[in-house]
Structure 1
């Protein structure tokens, strides 16, 4: 953890700026914002037209002078000014007035593991732009582990896997710190892209970008695990003619297309285990892997990891909001650190 729990308890707001969704936790109020990290801008005037879910619905449906942007990519703010404007609108006038009453507003933010100084600076500047006088940065892996109830402060190993839209982060934690971690550039977006590419190449079919979730259509209740019907009907647009068309897709071929990017995640878990001390690996054989993040809800992903690693795999109760809830628990003082003060004679 980059800051102490005492410093975090002085903070008033916790923000999780994700590539897919932005979440804000206010001390005393709980989770107040959970919206897509999306903004629609009028390129002629520079005016902000919409943010959040409404802006996401505009994707692929706007005229030339309206542009839908995502100011956060892979957990890193890539457009500070737009991220500030988006956050202000998501918070709303009433909540911003409440926060402005605090003379020295402190904020905490999640940052990806091994984020470079520029990425950390971008997160700080974004929160300074909404009125924060001081910003504390916490590793997303620590915050997510706290949010899903893992005993991170104990001298035993716990493995957390944060499945985001753009990246997957895996870490082994012990005594409130990261023992070893890996960040893999494969997430929910890569899985969706693999399905869309397969349908385009094999069936010359294009899927709508927002109106249809490719995974929900292409996969049945069995998810990426074996089982379920052998074929699924998919509706989309013909690449050649541009007309609407339906095709019968072999679900086994779709599963094979999805497994290709997911092999990098399995390799990352193996790399983590090889770099861990043997005692911690023995602990992991009992407690297994805890999956959090929006992409952890991909049907069959947990079973695939069980088969590949031979370890127990669990999905958190609310995997999509674990990181911001963990930050909120630290802000409200619900996490007690293990006392490791020096022994005096």
Structure 2
């Protein structure tokens, strides 16, 4: 079913999918990015029927009666529930587009997989696409797709470093001559940072946050929120752990910064390991060029500054960090990438 995806084979694909733990994105040749929705489905456990997918299903989190279960079929970049992922994708794509895709006699699809995805995870990605009617599936390393999508000169001999900040995992790699020189996958992502904030508020202030308001809290810290120049405190609304009643507290932003430092240390360790495994000639390039951050969690307020302080390297955030991987795949599908020495995912 899968081969190592050459640019030539990717050009023959009709549809590309980036199935992430947080969001699912679909790119259709000729139509562009057609789906960008949360990777969530709400199921009626009594009947097994799908009630909602995407944003609507995400809004149901924590608000549903007992028989409605909100599921996330993707975890850490790998499909953990193939059947659910297929159903979710079908609904996200919609009837009209599915009909158009079905008319293609030999539908070819491309999908992103995390850097060190094991054969089972690769197989799950392929099966999910086959459920959409794909006769052939090409797999592309997320790191390469993201590097192409944010316009890094991947095919040149200089080294570039990319940090893909996902919800469940962070991947970091050094690329040169169109292939991955060294890479690490760290099991810490935006969710771990959310979790650290939630735990901090629970222990320090005995406050429970509604599941949807962790991100707004980070945004409340935004601008210079996570840097020492930011506001010293911010007001947070939540529910008292003991009484269950609503209340608001003034939260010290420096304490929140300390709380999220622990998960971020793992990311810094990963960057350090990649640099240690990297040939010295390339490390010299990186000192000038720095790190390019992509992925939805790249926008965590102040994260880039934290990395600058810790590594002493320049850190840039891609223009549209959350959609780099799918736009990179799309560029490959539409043949906008000159054939280069791409070392694709060996299938």
TM over 0.5: yes
Deviations 1:218-241 (A, max 9, x none): 624312111122111111000000
Q: 1:277 aligns with which of 276, 279, 282?
A: 279
What residue in structure 2 maps to residue 286 of structure 1?
288
Q: 1:91 aligns with which of 69, 90, 93?
A: 93
What residue in structure 2 maps to residue 57 of structure 1?
59
What residue in structure 2 maps to residue 208 of structure 1?
210
**Structure 2: distance between partners of 1:148 and 1:228:** 29
Q: For the structure 1 residues 148 and 220, does the alpha-carbon distance in structure 2 shift closer, same or farther, using more than 3 Å as the test? A: closer
Instruction: Please state how far the C-alpha of 1:336 moved relative to its aligned partner.
Output: 1.1
Deviates more, 1:328-337 or 1:219-228: 219-228
Gaps of 5+ in 2: 343-347
Give the conservation status (yes or no) of the 8 Å contact 1:11–1:107: yes
- Deviating runs (4+, > 6 A) in structure 1? none
Gaps of 5+ in 1: 341-345
Give the conservation status (yes or no) of the 8 Å contact 2:43–2:51: yes
Q: Which has the higher contact order (CA 8 A, sep 6+)?
A: 2
Q: Does 1:318 align with 2:320?
A: yes
Deviations 1:58-84 (A, max 9, x none): 000000110000000001000000100
Give the conservation status (yes or no) of the 8 Å contact 1:196–1:214: no
Q: For the structure 1 residues 41 and 50, does the alpha-carbon distance in structure 2 shift closer, same or farther, using more than 3 Å as the test? A: same
What residue in structure 2 maps to residue 166 of structure 1?
168
**Structure 1: distance between partners of 2:125 and 2:341:** 31
Q: 2:13 aligns with which of 11, 22, 43?
A: 11
Aligned residues: 340
Question: What's the TM-score, normalizing by structure 1?
Answer: 0.96
What residue in structure 1 maps to residue 221 of structure 2?
219
**Structure 1: distance between partners of 2:305 and 2:294:** 15
Q: Does 1:304 align with 2:278?
A: no
Residues 120-199 of structure 1 correspond to what in structure 2 (within 5 A)? 120-199=122-201
Instruction: Please state how far the C-alpha of 1:339 moved relative to its aligned partner.
Output: 6.3
**Structure 2: distance between partners of 1:338 and 1:128:** 28
Question: What's the TM-score, normalizing by structure 2?
Answer: 0.96
Deviations 1:68-110 (A, max 9, x none): 0000000100000010000000011110011011000000000
What residue in structure 2 maps to residue 114 of structure 1?
116
Q: For the structure 1 residues 64 and 46, does the alpha-carbon distance in structure 2 shift closer, same or farther, using more than 3 Å as the test? A: same
Deviations 1:152-203 (A, max 9, x none): 0111101010000000000000111100000000100000000000000011
Give the conservation status (yes or no) of the 8 Å contact 2:147–2:325: yes
Residues 38-77 of structure 1 correspond to what in structure 2 (within 5 A)? 38-77=40-79
**Structure 1: distance between partners of 2:217 and 2:152:** 29
Q: 2:249 aligns with which of 226, 234, 247?
A: 247
**Structure 2: distance between partners of 1:200 and 1:70:** 25
**Structure 2: distance between partners of 1:217 and 1:11:** 38
**Structure 2: distance between partners of 1:130 and 1:111:** 17
Secondary structure in 2 matching 1:210: helix
Give the conservation status (yes or no) of the 8 Å contact 1:170–1:182: yes
**Structure 2: distance between partners of 1:166 and 1:132:** 27
Q: For the structure 1 residues 280 and 261, does the alpha-carbon distance in structure 2 shift closer, same or farther, using more than 3 Å as the test? A: same
- RMSD value, Cα: 1.3
Give the conservation status (yes or no) of the 8 Å contact 2:222–2:302: no
Q: For the structure 1 residues 330 and 310, does the alpha-carbon distance in structure 2 shift closer, same or farther, using more than 3 Å as the test? A: same
Q: For the structure 1 residues 323 and 314, does the alpha-carbon distance in structure 2 shift closer, same or farther, using more than 3 Å as the test? A: same
What residue in structure 2 maps to residue 343 of structure 1?
none
Secondary structure in 1 matching 2:212: coil
Give the conservation status (yes or no) of the 8 Å contact 2:218–2:300: no
Give the conservation status (yes or no) of the 8 Å contact 1:154–1:338: no
